[in-house]
C-alpha cells in the first residue's frame, strides 16, 4: 500500500471515530425527563377523587388519627415526599391492591418504553428497608447492610454520604433509576438504639412469616415498613436515662452546712485521703474547692442499672496524664462560715454527708439538702463565666492524652454488657466476640462524631488490632 493510501485510510478511520453518537449526558437527561413525567403521572393518578377516602386513611396511618379529626396536617418538609412514596408504593387500598399496582395495570400500556422500564424498577425496589451503614464514601455514597436480610448494597447517593455516619442505622427506601440511590426522607438513629430496633423488627418478621410462610422480604417490608418507621421515630424522641457508675439516676444534690472553724475544717479535709485540695473555687468566689474521690473510706452503694437506654456519666480526677486516676464523687466548697457538698445522686449525697460528719464532727452543722432534676438545675443556672483558656495546641494535646488513657486499658476492664468479663476474655467465645464487635461499633461511631466536630478523637481500630478482631 502506498504512503498516500495509508494516509487516506488513517484519515477515514479518524473521521469514523469522530462521528457523533449517543452521549452519556444525553442518556442521563432522557432518563431524568422520563422520571419526571412518570412521577407526575403517578401523582395525578393517586390523587384522583376516586381515591379520596383511601388518601385520608393513608394520612391517618402515616401521621396519626389526629390529622383526620382536626383536618390539620403538621409535618416537616421532608415528611410529605416520604408520605407520598409510602402511599404510592406500600399502602394497601380497600381493594387489596397498592396504588402503584393499579397505576401499572391501568396506565402502564400508555407509557413510553423508558417510563415502563422505570416503573418496573421502582415497583421492584421502592420499599422501606432497615440498614446499617458499613462504609461512607465522602461525596459519592455509602455501603449499607440490610439488617434483616443480610444483603449488602452500594448506594450512590451524595446526600447520604454527607449526612450519615458509619454504624448508624436508618430506615430508607432504595430506588434504582440510572443508579441506586435513596428516595424520600430516611429515619436515622445512633447505634445505641440498634438492639431495640432489631428486637422489634425481628419479632415483626417472625410473626409475619408465621402467618405467611411463603412471603418474601419485599412483602414483609411493604406490609410492616411503616410500623418500623413509627417505632424508630418513637425511639428517636426518647431521651436516654443518665446514671452514675453506681447505677443511680443523675440528680443535682447539695448539702448545706454551717461551719464553726473554717481553718480547722480545711486542715482536716486537706489531710484526709478522700479529699483533694484544688485551690480557690472557680465556680464559687471566696470559697476553697476540694474534690471528693473514691478512695480511702469513700463508698457509695451500687444498684442494678435500669432497663432501656442508659448513659453513664463518668468523671475522673487525676493530677496529670499518666498519674493514678480516681472516680470523682462530688465537690466541696468551703467558705469562712459555711460548706456545701455537691454530688450527682442521692446515694452519693448520703454517703458524702456521712463521711463529712464523721471526719469533721462538731466543726460543721447540717442545715438542709436540695435535690433537683437535671432539667430543674439547668433551668436556673446563670451563664458560665468566661475562663482563661489553654492555648489550642496545649488543650488538644491534653485531651488527646486523656483519650489515650481512657482507651489504653479498655480491653482489660470488666464490662457489665459482657457479663462482667473484659473484652479480652469475651472475644475467646463466639457470643462474646460478637458483643465486643457491636460495642466497638458504638465506640467508633462516637469517635467519628468527635472527629467530624473537629475534636480530638481515638482510632478504635487500635483496640480491634489488640484483640485480634477484623478491621471492617
Answer yes or no: do 370 and 420 share one domain.
no
Q: pTM here? A: 0.78
Dihedral Cα 112, 116, 118, 119, nearest 10 deg: 130
What is the rounded distance in angstroms from the CA atom of residue 88 to the CA atom of residue 98? Answer: 7
β-pair partners for 372: 252
pLDDT on residue 258: 98
Shared domain for 191 and 294, answered yes or no, is no
Q: Could you tell me if 84 and 107 lie in one domain?
A: yes
436 domain-assigned: yes
What long-range pairs does 115-118 form, CB within 8 A, spacing at least 24?
115/34, 115/37, 115/38, 115/41, 118/31, 118/34, 118/35, 118/38, 118/177
Q: Which of 431, 430, 435 is nearest to 417 (CA)?
A: 435
The length of the chain, given as a count of residues: 472
pLDDT of residue 399: 64
In this structure, are 352 and 459 located in the same domain? no
Specify the pLDDT at position 436. 97
Contact call for residues 316 and 302 (beta carbons, < 8 A): no
Range of the domain at 425: 392-467
From 317, 344, 379, the end of a domain falls on: 379
How does pLDDT run along the chain (472 residues), one tens digit per residue? 555 444 444 443 333 333 344 454 667 788 889 999 999 999 999 999 999 999 999 999 999 888 777 777 776 777 889 999 999 999 999 999 999 999 999 999 999 999 999 999 999 999 999 999 999 999 999 999 999 999 999 999 999 999 999 999 999 999 887 789 998 778 899 999 999 999 999 999 999 999 999 999 999 999 999 999 999 999 999 888 899 999 999 999 999 999 999 999 999 999 999 999 999 999 999 999 999 999 999 999 999 888 777 888 888 887 776 678 899 999 999 999 999 999 999 999 999 999 999 999 999 999 999 999 977 777 766 665 555 455 566 566 656 666 776 788 899 988 888 999 999 999 999 999 999 999 999 999 999 999 998 888 989 999 999 999 999 9
Boundary (domain end) residue, out of 85, 101, 123: 123
Residue 117 main-chain phi, psi, to 5 deg: -65, -45
Measured CA to CA, the distance from residue 46 to residue 48 in angstroms comes to 6
Query: DSSP character for 249?
Result: B
Which CATH number characterizes residue 202's domain?
A: 2.40.50
Residue 271 shares a structural domain with residue 374: yes
d(CA 332, CA 192): 34
- Last residue of a domain, which of 379, 404, 434? 379
Please state the separation of Cα 50 from the chain's center in Å. Answer: 42
Residue 297 C-beta-side C-alpha neighbours within 13 Å = 13
Amino acid at each position: 500500500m502506498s504512503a498516500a493510501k495509508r494516509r487516506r485510510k488513517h484519515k477515514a478511520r479518524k473521521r469514523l471515530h469522530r462521528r457523533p453518537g449517543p452521549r452519556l449526558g444525553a442518556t442521563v437527561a432522557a432518563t431524568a425527563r422520563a422520571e419526571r413525567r412518570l412521577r407526575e403521572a403517578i401523582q395525578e393518578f393517586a390523587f384522583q377523587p376516586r381515591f379520596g377516602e383511601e388518601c385520608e386513611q393513608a394520612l391517618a396511618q402515616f401521621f396519626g388519627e389526629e390529622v383526620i379529626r382536626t383536618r390539620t396536617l403538621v409535618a416537616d418538609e421532608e415528611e410529605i415526599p416520604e408520605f407520598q412514596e409510602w402511599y404510592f408504593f406500600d399502602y394497601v387500598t380497600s381493594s387489596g391492591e397498592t396504588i402503584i399496582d393499579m397505576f401499572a395495570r391501568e396506565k402502564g400500556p400508555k407509557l413510553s418504553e423508558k417510563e415502563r422500564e422505570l416503573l418496573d424498577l421502582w415497583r421492584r425496589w421502592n420499599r422501606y428497608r432497615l440498614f446499617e451503614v458499613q462504609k461512607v464514601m465522602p461525596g459519592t455514597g455509602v455501603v449499607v447492610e440490610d439488617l434483616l436480610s443480610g444483603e449488602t448494597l452500594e448506594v450512590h447517593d451524595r446526600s447520604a454520604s454527607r449526612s450519615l455516619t458509619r454504624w448508624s442505622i436508618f430506615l430508607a427506601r432504595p430506588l434504582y433509576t440510572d443508579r441506586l440511590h435513596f428516595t424520600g426522607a430516611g429515619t436515622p438513629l445512633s447505634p445505641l438504639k440498634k438492639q431495640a430496633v432489631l428486637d422489634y423488627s425481628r419479632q415483626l418478621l417472625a410473626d409475619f412469616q408465621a402467618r405467611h410462610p411463603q412471603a418474601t422480604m419485599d412483602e414483609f417490608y411493604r406490609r410492616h415498613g411503616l410500623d418500623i418507621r413509627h417505632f424508630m421515630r418513637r425511639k428517636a424522641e426518647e431521651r436516654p436515662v443518665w446514671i452514675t457508675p453506681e447505677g443511680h439516676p443523675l440528680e443535682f444534690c447539695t448539702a448545706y452546712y454551717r461551719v464553726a472553724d473554717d481553718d480547722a475544717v480545711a486542715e482536716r479535709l486537706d489531710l484526709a485521703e478522700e479529699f483533694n485540695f484544688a485551690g480557690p473555687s472557680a465556680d464559687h468566689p471566696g470559697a476553697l474547692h476540694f474534690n471528693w474521690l473514691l478512695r480511702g473510706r469513700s463508698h457509695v452503694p451500687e444498684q442494678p442499672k435500669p432497663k432501656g437506654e442508659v448513659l453513664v456519666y463518668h468523671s475522673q480526677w487525676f493530677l496529670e496524664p499518666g498519674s493514678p486516676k480516681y472516680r470523682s464523687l462530688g465537690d466541696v466548697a468551703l467558705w469562712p462560715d459555711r460548706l456545701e457538698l455537691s454530688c450527682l445522686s442521692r446515694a452519693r449525697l448520703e454517703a458524702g454527708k456521712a463521711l463529712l460528719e464523721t471526719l469533721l464532727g462538731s466543726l460543721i452543722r447540717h442545715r438542709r439538702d436540695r435535690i433537683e432534676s437535671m432539667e430543674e438545675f439547668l433551668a436556673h443556672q446563670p451563664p458560665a463565666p468566661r475562663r482563661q483558656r489553654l492555648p489550642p495546641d496545649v488543650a488538644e494535646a491534653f485531651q488527646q492524652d486523656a483519650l489515650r488513657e481512657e482507651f489504653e486499658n479498655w480491653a482489660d476492664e470488666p464490662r457489665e454488657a459482657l457479663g462482667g468479663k473484659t473484652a479480652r476474655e469475651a472475644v475467646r467465645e463466639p457470643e462474646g466476640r460478637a458483643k465486643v464487635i457491636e460495642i466497638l461499633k458504638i465506640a467508633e461511631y462516637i469517635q467519628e462524631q468527635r472527629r467530624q466536630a473537629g475534636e480530638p478523637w481515638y482510632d478504635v481500630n487500635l483496640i480491634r488490632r489488640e484483640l485480634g478482631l477484623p478491621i471492617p
